[in-house]
């Protein structure tokens, strides 16, 4: 059998993540590997922690990248903060709330589910109801930016309610970090996990997390050991924690961390608020173009994520065929619907480096062409013109 | 505050890992990111599985890279194969046996420890004794290549004994895969985990694992859910498993996987047995040079790992100072002793791309110079000459 080097095609990644990785970040990952205890590497880690704090808008000392993808970041939050017998209120309005439930139950906890329809934001009144009916609850968990539906929920309000009932708050910010407002300290969120492959435009494989003082206190005063050795923050802190002396825990993914460092330098150069504004602007341009094609967004205007647009598949259109043609003819990847939304929506991501004027126009032009090919009554050029009006 | 791109120094990595990553592998990681469900990526994954099977010498269909470092690979093996109440016999002869114990206990199991001195191989007679005293044991775990001491243990014999007592076998091959003989099928090992940053010379962050039929049967017939959602092989198999249809589980670390693919292509080009022979040859050259400097290896000849050489620090020499000088003056990283061996040994790695004639000579020359500087009675050139005699 013959094996050859793999040369991936050049795609334009406009799905639910990964997003396009900027050439500067790709180049950073290709720099020579050094040891995970090398003094230069340790200094780079310290700098990265400061930049991550800025991205999360927090001064939490425990702000680090977990050495594995976002799902491991989620598990890190639950496995450290939930003990057997604990009750956790989980708000579910998409795929990832369901995964949170799995995490709670695998930690030996009981999940009280607060369900909202897929495509709706988490309902604060329902959360309050669940908390007053379950006074033993010690944690509330929800997703800020539901990647499966394109909905943003109100972290500030939900956190206030949870705190009134003496609960810690775990927030999934996988798709929001760097793309839309997240104010960890101002909103007093206790634990947040994210991913690198969305609005930070870095390669997948790391999960930035931040834990506040109350969360840390809970972790340090657990009755039982954290069930994951790899994700036990009591141990991980020995390596990432402050001070010059690093204790070996596991071998850090050195080159991936080079990439994240570069992504954070780029975010710093642009300015976090400018990045949020860019995501919003390109979303509005995309929306104008979609409307010109009579395509609808699934989510109501007040709960729309700029970086993940769930577009309703029109009647009579073969949704998978559209994705295939976009990929084959234009190298554009968009996402399919997940779970309850499978076959009903396309998920168009404008995340990080993928959130650019150029991508908006290229996507709209390609979509016009593909829908025309499939028999849609599309007047060529209208969508691009509508988007351009917003962008100019 | 100012943040700038990070340019790591050019090191020669001769510690316990990571090893030097070949430029071809660095270049592979810098190729454009594609989606983790992209058809070209899926085809690459299929090819990688075949190459991993060859590296492990197995036909196990469940042979994949876990999306996190070796410690997560360890946790993947234990968390899938150990259920609450299970008894696991853990053979410990270094740091990593202790970590295995942590894993067993955090899975709710009981660890029966078989202890050997650090620097000794696992004693087969002691394992047999422990198994006959603990007939309820269902798993035996041990480390093939102890990175903390440089000892290789006899996988074949230990596995035979474990099977006689109806136990599954978990083997830690983090430092052996690609560097010294490992015959998963011939020796009938049930579960093996490894790392990418040792003898495969890839960047850290992935953990190749393989699970045989008996292990798979145990996983599929568990009484309880695997406590880690991220590492639950029942779910991971939906993504990595055979067939054209991949089910999304977590976002794979795409660029790291490009790197592993390239590393495996290079291993295939060299030939696995040639790679083993190269590691052995360079080890013998290093040994000759060390002997010429009157430096001793910790481990007896019949249990020495070629890729990890624990060198006894001579009396009166400041071991940390030696490492500092090697790093500062020559850019050479070697490792310190861990745990019981802290301050007593240096750990000199000759792993993967770092296992080269050039590195042996450069290290010996630098070591002669550093030891002379620190007052050792070193006759310059003798060590290099002794090594060259082996290499020619």
A68 pLDDT above the threshold of 90: yes
| Percentage above 70 pLDDT, chain B | 99
CA distance A355 to chain B (A): 16
Residues of chain B with C-beta less than 8 angstroms from the C-beta of A255: 21, 26, 29, 203-205, 256, 259
B75 touches chain A (CB under 8 A): yes
pLDDT tens for each residue of B14-49: 999 999 999 999 999 999 999 998 999 999 999 999
Residues of chain B with C-beta less than 8 angstroms from the C-beta of A248: 338
Q: What is the pLDDT of residue B378?
A: 79
CB contact under 8 A, B26 and A33: yes
- Considering the entire predicted model, what is its pTM? 0.97
Judge contact between B84 and B109, C-beta under 8 A: yes
Judge contact between A356 and A282, C-beta under 8 A: yes
pLDDT tens for each residue of A291-346: 999 999 999 999 999 999 999 999 999 999 999 999 999 999 999 999 889 999 99
> First-to-last CA distance in chain A?
54
CB contact under 8 A, A32 and B10: yes
Q: Which of A8, A205, A262 sits opposite B40 (nearest CB)?
A: A8
A13 touches chain B (CB under 8 A): yes
CB contact under 8 A, A3 and B268: yes
Q: A15: alpha, beta or left, given left = phi > 0 and alpha = psi -120 to 50?
A: beta
Residue of chain A whose alpha carbon sits nearest to that of B201: A33
B302 touches chain A (CB under 8 A): no
| Burial group, residue A135, by CB count within 10 angstroms (0-12, 13-18, 19+) | exposed
B254 pLDDT above the threshold of 90: yes
**Chain A (308-367) residues lying within 8 Å, Cβ to Cβ, of chain B:** 327, 333, 338
Judge contact between A9 and B34, C-beta under 8 A: yes
Residues of chain A with C-beta less than 8 angstroms from the C-beta of B106: 225-229
CATH architecture, domain B272-391: Alpha-Beta Complex (3.90)
Q: What is the pLDDT of residue B269?
A: 98
Residue in A250, A16, A33, A248 with CA at minimum distance from that of residue B68: A250
B102 touches chain A (CB under 8 A): yes
Q: Characterize A45-78 residue by residue with b for buried, 16 or more Cβ atoms within 10 angstroms of its Cβ, and e for exposed.
A: bebbbebbbbbbbbebbbbbbbbbbbbbbbbbbb
Q: What is the pLDDT of residue B292?
A: 96
Residues 6 or more apart whose CB falls under 8 angstroms from that of B358 comprise: none
Q: What is the pLDDT of residue B255?
A: 98
B376 pLDDT above the threshold of 80: no
Residues 6 or more apart whose CB falls under 8 angstroms from that of B369 comprise: B329, B380
A376 pLDDT above the threshold of 80: no
CB contact under 8 A, A71 and B38: no
Residue of chain A whose alpha carbon sits nearest to that of B338: A248
| Percentage above 90 pLDDT, chain A | 93
B203 touches chain A (CB under 8 A): yes
A378 pLDDT above the threshold of 90: no
Confidence category of residue A244, pLDDT binned at 50, 70, 90: low
Question: In chain A, where are the structural domains located?
Answer: 23-268, 271-391
- For chain A, the average pLDDT equals 96
Q: What is the pLDDT of residue B49?
A: 96
CB contact under 8 A, A21 and B44: no
Mean pLDDT to the nearest integer, A146-173: 98
Element (H, E) at B105: helix B95-106
B5 touches chain A (CB under 8 A): yes
- For chain B, the average pLDDT equals 96
Determine the 3-state secondary structure of A346 from DSSP: strand
pLDDT tens for each residue of A270-298: 999 999 999 999 999 999 999 999 999 99
**Chain A (214-253) residues lying within 8 Å, Cβ to Cβ, of chain B:** 225-230, 248-253
B264 touches chain A (CB under 8 A): yes
Q: What is the pLDDT of residue A392?
A: 83
A246 pLDDT above the threshold of 80: no
Q: What is the pLDDT of residue B305?
A: 97
A301 touches chain B (CB under 8 A): no
Query: Which ranges constitute the DSSP H helices of chain A?
Result: 23-29, 39-56, 70-81, 95-106, 124-133, 155-164, 213-220, 233-240, 254-270, 272-292, 319-330, 357-373, 382-391
HEC letters along A277-307: HHHHHHHHHHHHHHHHCCCCECCCHHHECCC
Q: What is the pLDDT of residue A242?
A: 57
B360 pLDDT above the threshold of 80: yes
CB contact under 8 A, A8 and B261: no
Give the fold, CATH level 3, of A271-391. 3.90.1150
CB contact under 8 A, A256 and B252: no
Q: Which of B10, B36, B68 sits opposite A67 (nearest CB)?
A: B68
Interface with chain B: mutation pick from A36, A229, A333, highest number of B CBs within 10 Å? A229
Residues of chain B with C-beta less than 8 angstroms from the C-beta of A20: 32-33
- Rounded CA-CA distance A105/B232 in Å is 14
CB contact under 8 A, B70 and A250: yes
Interface with chain A: mutation pick from B1, B4, B7, B8, highest number of A CBs within 10 Å? B8
CB contact under 8 A, A227 and B15: no
Interface with chain A: mutation pick from B32, B195, B351, highest number of A CBs within 10 Å? B32
HEC letters along A58-124: CCCCEEEEECCCHHHHHHHHHHHHCCCCCEEEEEECCHHHHHHHHHHHHCCCEEEEEECCCCCCCCH
Residues of chain B with C-beta less than 8 angstroms from the C-beta of A67: 68-69, 72, 205
Q: What is the pLDDT of residue A255?
A: 98
pLDDT tens for each residue of B260-283: 999 999 999 999 999 999 999 999
Residues 6 or more apart whose CB falls under 8 angstroms from that of A302 comprise: A121
Radius of gyration of chain A (CA): 21
Which class is domain A23-268?
A: alpha beta
Locate B120 and state its tokens.
């000794």
A8 pLDDT above the threshold of 60: yes
Residue of chain A whose alpha carbon sits nearest to that of B47: A3
B377 pLDDT above the threshold of 90: no
Mean pLDDT to the nearest integer, B306-310: 98
pLDDT tens for each residue of B109-143: 999 999 999 999 999 999 999 999 999 999 999 99
Residues of chain B with C-beta less than 8 angstroms from the C-beta of A49: none
CA distance A134 to chain B (A): 25
Confidence category of residue B188, pLDDT binned at 50, 70, 90: very high
CB contact under 8 A, A35 and B333: yes
CB contact under 8 A, A251 and B29: no
Q: What is the pLDDT of residue B246?
A: 75
CB contact under 8 A, B8 and A15: no
Q: What is the pLDDT of residue B392?
A: 84
CB contact under 8 A, B8 and A51: no
A197 touches chain B (CB under 8 A): yes
Q: What is the pLDDT of residue A238?
A: 83
Q: What is the pLDDT of residue B243?
A: 53
A186 pLDDT above the threshold of 70: yes
CB contact under 8 A, A30 and B32: no
Confidence category of residue A243, pLDDT binned at 50, 70, 90: low
Please report the number of interchain residue pairs, chain A to chain B, with beta-carbon separation below 8 angstroms. 263
Which value does ipTM take for this structure?
0.96
CB contact under 8 A, B18 and A38: no
Element (H, E) at B16: none
- Rounded CA-CA distance B2/A269 in Å is 9
B178 touches chain A (CB under 8 A): no
Q: Which of B44, B103, B253 sits opposite A69 (nearest CB)?
A: B253
């Amino acid at each position: 059998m013959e094996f050859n080097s793999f040369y991936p095609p050049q795609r334009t990644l406009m799905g639910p993540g990964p997003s396009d990785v900027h050439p500067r970040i790709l180049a950073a990952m290709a720099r020579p590997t050094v040891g995970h205890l090398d003094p230069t590497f340790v200094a780079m880690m310290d700098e990265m922690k400061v930049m991550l704090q800025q991205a999360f808008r927090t001064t939490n000392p425990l702000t680090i990248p977990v050495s594995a993808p976002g799902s491991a970041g989620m598990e890190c939050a639950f496995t450290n903060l939930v003990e057997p017998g604990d009750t956790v209120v989980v708000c579910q309005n998409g795929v990832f709330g369901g995964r949170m439930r799995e995490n709670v139950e695998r930690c030996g906890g009981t999940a009280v589910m607060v369900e909202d329809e897929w495509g709706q934001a988490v309902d604060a009144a329902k959360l309050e109801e669940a908390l007053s009916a379950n006074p033993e609850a010690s944690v509330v968990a929800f997703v800020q930016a539901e990647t499966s539906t394109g909905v943003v929920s109100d972290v500030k309000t939900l956190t206030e309610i949870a705190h009134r009932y003496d609960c810690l708050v775990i927030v999934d910010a996988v798709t929001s970090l760097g793309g839309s407002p997240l104010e960890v300290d101002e909103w007093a969120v206790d634990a947040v996990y994210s991913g690198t492959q969305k609005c930070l435009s870095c390669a997948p494989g790391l999960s930035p997390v931040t834990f506040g003082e109350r969360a840390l206190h809970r972790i340090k005063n657990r009755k039982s050991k954290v069930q994951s050795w790899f994700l036990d923050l009591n141990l991980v802190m020995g390596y990432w924690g402050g001070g010059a002396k690093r204790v070996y825990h596991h071998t850090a993914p050195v080159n991936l961390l080079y990439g994240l460092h570069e992504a954070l330098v780029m975010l710093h150069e642009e300015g976090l608020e400018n990045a949020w504004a860019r995501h919003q602007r390109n979303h509005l341009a995309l929306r104008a173009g979609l409307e010109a094609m009579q395509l609808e967004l699934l989510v109501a205007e007040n709960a729309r994520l700029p970086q993940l647009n769930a577009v309703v598949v029109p009647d009579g259109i073969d949704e998978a065929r559209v994705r295939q043609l976009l990929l084959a003819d234009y190298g554009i990847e968009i996402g399919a619907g997940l779970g309850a939304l499978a076959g009903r929506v396309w998920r168009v991501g404008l995340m990080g480096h993928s959130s650019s004027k150029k991508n908006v126009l290229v996507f709209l032009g390609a979509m016009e062409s593909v829908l025309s090919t499939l028999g849609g009554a599309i007047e060529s050029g209208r969508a691009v013109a509508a988007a351009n009006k917003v962008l100019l």
